[in-house]
Amino acid sequence: MLIKVIHIPTYILIFILGVIMGMMFFMTFPFIMLLLVVDLFTLCISDMVSIYSLIKGLATKNMCSKVLPAIAFVCQFVWCADIISLLIVAAVNKIKKTGLPITL
């Protein structure tokens, strides 16, 4: 989850560089394609780490339920929903481990 939070400024920087390069006429298309590849590569790396963590948590029975990680797994492929779903899973797991009543 920390990796995803660290990547947010990188995505913003890549977007700003893409907008600046979009205003220029020289070498615009190749540079934007390079930024697109770098952006997709960082998204893929952070998604695979999160998916591995969810699968490992389910395998070791450290998750509060099986439904919430399944929803978080699907959300890993949606840009902003991945961080939100991981935060919800972490919060619910922490609440469940402390013994507070919660229903899902």
pTM (2 d.p.): 0.61
Residue 56 confidence (pLDDT):
85
Residue 101 confidence (pLDDT):
66
Residue 41 tokens read as: 């590569």
Residue 1 confidence (pLDDT):
63
Torsion of CA 45, 20, 25, 30, to 10 degrees: -10
Q: State whether the Cα torsion 14-19-20-21 is positive or negative.
A: positive
Domain segments of the chain: what residues? Answer: 2-98
Instruction: Report the distance separating Cα 78 and Cα 94, nearest Å.
Output: 24
Nearest Cα residue to 77 out of 27, 4, 21, 22:
4
Instruction: Report the distance separating Cα 40 and Cα 63, nearest Å.
Output: 29
- Kindly give the confidence (pLDDT) of every residue in the chain, 104 residues in length, as a single tens digit, with 9 standing for 90 and above: 676 677 778 778 888 887 887 787 777 788 878 888 887 887 788 788 888 888 888 888 777 777 888 888 888 877 778 888 888 888 888 887 787 666 55
